[in-house]
Amino acid sequence: MAGMVEGKVVVVTGAGRGIGRAIAMLMASHGARVVVNDIGASLGGEGSDQAPADEVAAEIRKAGGEAIANFDSVAGFASAGKIIQCAADTFGRIDCVVNNAGILRDVIFHKMTEADWDAVVSVMLKGAFNCSRHAADHFRRQESGCFIHMTSTSGLVGSMGQANYSAAKLGMVALSTSIAHDMARFNVRSNCIAPVAWTRMTQSIPAKDPAAQKRIEQRSQVTAEHNAPLAVFLASDAAREVNAQVFSVRKNEIFLMSQSRPLRSVHRGEGWTPESCAEHMLPAVKSWFVPLQRTADVFSWDSI
């Protein structure tokens, strides 16, 4: 029986561990030929280790699939080009890019350094642009292809101590939407997934109070593998009508997330002044304000 992505060539960045590994493995089990990209850096982005990517590629091949490890960085435009070229050189084409690579440098905003900001944004947001831009040339010529960008509820909803991470992840949603607009004429799709899983990233979040400890204990039951089926579906031809959407996955739950649209309008024929904004606009829209919330406030129930 043919798999959902039989014969397709898929690049998965950050595929040496966690969610990226799970996606790469399931893509291969459904017939994809996979470029397993990972520089093997620490959680904060330091160092390199070829073992994680090598091990995943070897495991795929042992199971009868096709895979090659790649160790180039997504953060540099030229090196990201080598990742995409690796797919073309090895398998003759490219059909899907999963922009999953990421690092964490969590710190409260008023203590965040420029280096903390630049490192995270370079890997995740610029990295997603880099890989997508290089793949776009191939997709345009062959008039097919798809992007899957791994965003986060830290950006969609909000989080403490993650201004760099949240900004990069929400930026990926805007990037995805722009790609969807620009490349729809070439039959190219672009969608986002906000995953939930117990990985080395979430393991690094400290339990500062009993409520946080409970959330961590519950999240530890949600494995990276729960996120892979949706990614494989989005890479398949069965998702040909799915474009510019944002999904979230929590264990056995899949959510279609809202995107910014007008909630309420107020009109004043004579125009507005600062005073009328205070006297008229504010009372009219205040009840529609989006509250300042974190992911745990929005997803207040345990994963099902």
Distance of CA 185 to the CA centre of its chain: 24
CA-to-CA distance for 13 and 53, rounded, in angstroms?
10
Listed in sequence order, the residues at least 6 apart from 55 whose beta carbon sits closer than 8 Å to its beta carbon are 16
1 within a domain of the structure (yes/no): no
51 within a domain of the structure (yes/no): yes
pLDDT tier at 219, thresholds 50, 70, 90? low
What's the domain count of the chain?
Answer: 1
Which residue in 194, 189, 186 sits closest to 244, CA to CA? 189
166 within a domain of the structure (yes/no): yes
Give 3-state DSSP helix, strand, coil % of the chain, rounded to 5: 50, 15, 40
Q: Is 296 marked active-site?
A: no
Q: Domain containing 126 — which CATH number?
A: 3.40.50.720
292 within a domain of the structure (yes/no): no
The mean per-residue pLDDT over the stretch 106-124 comes to 97
The mean per-residue pLDDT over the stretch 231-250 comes to 97
Neighbours of 238 (CB within 10 A): 12
Domain enclosing residue 217, as ranges: 9-259
- Identified catalytic residue from 71, 129, 165, 299: 165
List pLDDT tens digits, range 118-141: 999 999 999 999 999 999 999 999
CA-to-CA distance for 144 and 7, rounded, in angstroms?
14
Radius of gyration (C-alpha) of the chain in whole angstroms: 20
pTM (2 d.p.): 0.92
Give the sheet arrangement for strand 246-250, strand by strand. 66-70, 33-37, 9-13, 96-99, 145-150, 188-195, 246-250, 253-256
294 within a domain of the structure (yes/no): no
Percent of the chain clearing pLDDT 70 (strictly above): 92
List pLDDT tens digits, range 273-282: 999 999 999 9
269 within a domain of the structure (yes/no): no
Sign of CA dihedral 63, 68, 73, 78: negative
List pLDDT tens digits, range 177-187: 999 999 999 99
